[in-house]
Amino acid sequence: MDLKEIRGKIDQIDHQLLSLIHRRMEYALQAGKQKTSVNDPSREERILKSLKSRASNPLDSDYIEDLFQGLISKSKNLQEQKLKLVAFQGEHGAWSEIAIQTFGRDMVAIPCLEFADVFAGVANHEFEHGMVPIENSIEGSVHEVNDLLVETDLKIIAEAVIPIHHNLLALPGCDYREIKTVYSHPQALAQCRSFLSRNKLEPRPFYDTAGAARWLAHERQMSAGVIASNLAAELHGLEIIKDHIEDHPDNSTRFVLLSKNEFTGDVDKCTIAFSTQHRVGALFDILGIFASNKINLTRIESRPIRKNPGAFAFLLDFQGSRTDPAVTRALEDIKAHTMMFKNLGFYKEART
């Protein structure tokens, strides 16, 4: 290998090392939620002893001890800060992580494989919050998330509307003319359908946009590209070949922040879930309650109830405060006229 190739390998390893260090710190923070004390000298001693025993030329045991002692010290420092862990589905660089970043630096994004893992982790106190996409302005509802909302006892405490500007990413030094296939989440591929068709690129579905970026960074396929965010490009060491490749410039996704507890601050929006009797006019009667109380609806979604085949639930968003007598009156009336009713939370409406 020449010097350029060697340096390229070093750069690749550095990206992988940084990713692994981030993942180690995330696990340390999760462990901190279950520990009674930040300090555990006996475990630290065992870790360092085991790692030092594996020292080999050119690394000596003293260097290994210094290196990992620094990592352990940083882990304990982070645990002491009592940061809020926020679960999201996908890999680092996903749009859900970008949504989390809008809520402040005291929130640490923790990736989960499935949406169900996000909900379960919050319910089991593994995470303070979860961030999930609920609907996209182009492709519509995220069905799995809405189904989980119907089944959950978690509360929506905030929302964020994030502009979605997709990018075509590739490996550094890639000749864009060699790209034949593009990997990404099915919704991202659908949102860039015209771009892919116009450039004769074959779409390949992947479980996550940022996950596709991570895969490409590891697999090093020069003939492949991925559709993902700027953050995914930065975190996984990829180049942006073309930005803003979405078919619609006003493409955006609405995310909701989940918690075990209700939000107690100022609010002006609410989400509820309910099911009605199977009779003519049942839904019309519910909508009439909102109309008679002059409450503005912003979304209504119908979903089959997975635990009760043949039954359907409605998810409904409306503008209003818990302190508004009209809202209180409407919700009490709705409870009396529905077979199942859940108040999924009052929160502050995102301004776009």
Q: Which residues are catalytic?
A: 253, 255
Give which of 113, 156, 111 is closest to 135, Cα–Cα. 156
Longest dimension (CA), the chain: 79
Distance CA(126)–CA(104), nearest Å, equals 20
Tokens representing 180?
Answer: 């034949």
- Which distant-in-sequence residues (6+ apart) come within 8 Å of 77 by Cβ? none
Beta-bridge partners for 89: 112
Amino acid at 217: A
Q: Please list the alpha-helical segments (H only) found in the chain.
A: 3-32, 41-52, 61-80, 95-101, 115-123, 143-151, 186-191, 193-198, 209-219, 230-236, 282-292, 325-336
Coil, helix or strand for 255? strand
Give which of 165, 162, 166, 205 is closest to 183, Cα–Cα. 205
Amino acid at 306: R
Are the C-beta atoms of residues 154 and 259 closer than 8 Å to each other?
yes
CA dist list (Å): 24 to 10, 31, 127: 21, 10, 16
The angle subtended at Cα 204 by Cα 203 and Cα 208, nearest 5°, is: 115
